[in-house]
Amino acid sequence: MTGTGENVHGSGDSGGLVLVLNSGSSSVKFAVLAPASGERVLAGMAEKVGTPEAELRIRRYPDHIATEPLPEGSYQAVISRILGHLSEAGLGTEDGASGPGQARLVGAGHRVVHGGERFTASVLVDDQVIAAIRSSSHLAPLHNPANLAGIEAVRAVRPALPQVAVFDTAFHQTMPPRAFRYAVPEDWYTRYGVRRYGFHGTSYRFVSQQAAALLGRPLTELRLVTAHLGNGCSVAAVRDGVSVDTTMGLTPLEGLVMGTRSGDVDPGVFGYLAERAGLTIEGLDETLNTASGLTGISGVGNDMRAVEAAAAEGNRRAQLAVEVFVHRLAKAIAGMVVGLERLDALVFTAGIGENSAFVRGQVMSRLGFLGLIEDAEANARHGRDTRGRISLDGPVVAMVVPTDEELMIARDTARLTASGARLL
Ligand code: ADP
């Protein structure tokens, strides 16, 4: 029995355990955690899923780490093995018969990338939900089918386990039409669903709640700009707890400069390069998604740490990449204030947002006109000793709030499976 397992048994966390899955086309990221405390029991990743070279890397908390081949390679094999590890730890029985209630697996929560206009919140999975996710697949052809494969694998291995789908897009369904509509012909929207959906919604929901708690103010009275800066980057305007604007659009390509994605470009570039360079739509789409952003400008790569280091050593392309990244980010943050009409706090999160004091400092220095003044010492310490705060006293607070999308998915799953159980 691991120490963490003992903690879960004894933590008084009556929410049970939740298996959280992020199923991609060839990888599955997973965690098993207690939704009330956020305590992890297992976490890891399966790679090369769907091939005989599939491999599972798993950590059983606190310190048992294993890498196992999965010759069968299927999503089902991945799920079976995760559940096998759980029962080896004496946890995760379906009915709780062999242990206290806290150790019971109460559900599986899945990250689903695109919920279209159908899903405005997380839902319990049933046949209709599966059909609706499938019918949104044209909006995320690489992601939704993989997310569904994860759902179907859990069904096959543990048919009685309740499942919940948590959508990246759902949080932004509160955006008003003036924020989500493109100025294109009406039938592009009505026939093909061409509109802005926005992503990173699970992260925004989590950090907004955390920010309100750290500020000691009700979320329903706060006007926030939240900046999720990871490999994908976006910002959102969160007004009284709901999203009113965001930078990503129909796809996660729109908006900010990202690791390998361009963010906004003139759509005229398609016709221009088709004509001048003979590029195809597929080729252009691929380049804008995988060879642009920090990678494209700097030539160094998509990792902000490497780009910052190269810039500090005098690499001009890397310097320019950071400058463009920061300029576009600051501009987008200021633009989000239009939908808020007042700004109370700017929240930085995800890999770059949580760790790059340099990027945050640069952004704040460009937003002085909003009333933001960096507290350099607090920023250097990532707000760890100041309840997230990295700005000096003023009308707007800047803060760092670590995101935890897995925990948000686990909480949604526990809440919905408990209410589902009540309905039965
Ligand atoms: P994902 O979107 O895949 O979840 P993350 O949220 O982990 O990604 O963010 C990855 C990004 O965070 C990378 O660009 C990485 O370089 C950046 N990052 C992580 N740590 C630092 C750091 N100390 N300074 C600057 N950037 C960092």
What local confidence, expressed as pLDDT, does residue 91 receive?
A: 83
Q: Is 120 in the pocket of ligand 1 (CB under 6 A)?
A: no
Q: State the catalytic residue, choosing from 13, 168, 245, 404.
A: 168
Question: What is the reported pLDDT for 102?
Answer: 54
First to last CA, the chain: 34
**What is the residue with the minimal CA distance to atom 21 of ligand 1?**
355
pLDDT at 422: 54
How high is the mean pLDDT in each 10-residue block of the chain (424 residues)? 35 71 95 94 96 94 92 93 90 57 85 96 97 93 93 96 98 98 98 97 98 98 98 97 98 97 97 96 96 98 98 98 98 98 97 98 97 97 98 97 98 89 54
Task: Decide whether any atom of ligand 1 lies within 6 Å of the 296 Cβ.
Answer: no
pLDDT the model gives residue 97: 44
Q: What separation in Å is there between the alpha carbon of 160 and the centre of ligand 1?
A: 37
Per DSSP, helices labelled H in 240-315 are 268-277, 281-290, 293-298, 304-312
Instruction: Say how many residues make up the chain.
Output: 424
- The crossing angle, in degrees rounded to 10, of helices 357-366 and 304-312 is 80
Q: Whose CA is nearest to atom 3 of ligand 1?
A: 231
pLDDT value, residue 15: 61
168 is catalytic: yes
Q: Is the CB of 354 under 6 A from ligand 1?
A: no
> ∠ CA(185), CA(186), CA(188), 5° rounding?
70
The reply to whether ligand 1 has any atom less than 6 angstroms from the CB of 353 is no
Predicted local distance difference test score (pLDDT) of residue 413: 97
Regarding the beta carbon of 232 and ligand 1, being less than 6 Å apart is answered yes
* Cα(420) to centroid(ligand 1), Å: 37
Q: What's the CA-to-centroid distance between 4 and ligand 1, angstroms?
A: 27
What are the phi and psi torsion angles at 45 (to 5°)?
-155, 140
Distance, CA 74 to ligand 1 centroid (Å)?
Answer: 29
Q: Model-level pTM?
A: 0.94
Cα of 230 vs centre of ligand 1, distance in Å, is 5
**Spatial distance between the Cα atoms of 315 and 304, rounded to a whole number of angstroms:** 14
Whole-angstrom Cα distance, residue 388 to residue 207?
Answer: 11
Within 13 Å of residue 168, how many CA atoms lie on the same side as its CB? Answer: 25
How much is the mean pLDDT over the chain? 93
CB of residue 31 inside a 6 A radius of ligand 1: no
Residue 38 in contact with ligand 1 by CB distance below 6 A: no
Q: What's the CA-to-centroid distance between 231 and ligand 1, angstroms? A: 6
Write the residue with the smallest CA distance to atom 24 of ligand 1.
356
pLDDT of residue 423: 53
Tell me how crowded residue 313 is: count the other CB atoms within 10 A of its CB. 9
pLDDT of residue 14: 54
Ligand 1 contacts CB of residue 346 (under 6 A):
no
Q: Which residue has the tokens 């697949």?
A: 137
Which of 199, 305, 329, 403 to mutate to test ligand 1, by most ligand atoms within 8 A of the CB atom?
305
